[in-house]
Amino acid sequence: MEADIFKALADPNRRAMLERLASGELTGSALGEGFAISQPAMSQHIAVLRGAGLIRERREGRSVHYAVNPDGMAPLHDWLSRYQAFWPERLGRLKDFLKEMDQ
């Protein structure tokens, strides 16, 4: 699981795809625009991201709408939290951020 996530994120194209999806749901062809790779390459990347649980898909007619999976990054976050002890100053900044959010 965790390993699949790290592997999926190791590729810059896949990270870029995720970042585009972070702005909202997109169909496969819409997501592919701006990438200098073929449609099959995109499809394969999507398969990897889905295999890692990072995206969800919703078929609608002949197109498929992809979106970021709400808690797909959770295992990564959990893994990363093991190292929070190493950056107390960042915790402070995060605290400020959360305080702001409360208002």
What's the min distance (Å) between Cβ of 62 and a copy of itself?
27
The C-alpha atoms of residue 4 and residue 11 are separated, in whole angstroms, by 12
| Phi then psi dihedrals of residue 55, to 5 deg | -130, 160
Tokens of 31: 């997501």
Mask for 40-79, x = binds DNA (CB under 7 A): xxxxxxxxx--------x---xxxx---------------
71 binds, among DNA, a copy of itself, none (CB under 5 to 8 A by kind): a copy of itself
The C-alpha atoms of residue 41 and residue 47 are separated, in whole angstroms, by 10
What's the min distance (Å) between Cβ of 3 and DNA?
9
Decide: helix, strand or coil at residue 94. Answer: helix
The C-alpha atoms of residue 3 and residue 43 are separated, in whole angstroms, by 21
Measured from the CB atom, is 12 or 88 closer to DNA? 12
Q: What is the contact surface with DNA in residues (CB under 7 A)? A: 7, 10-11, 13, 27-29, 32, 36-48, 57, 61-64
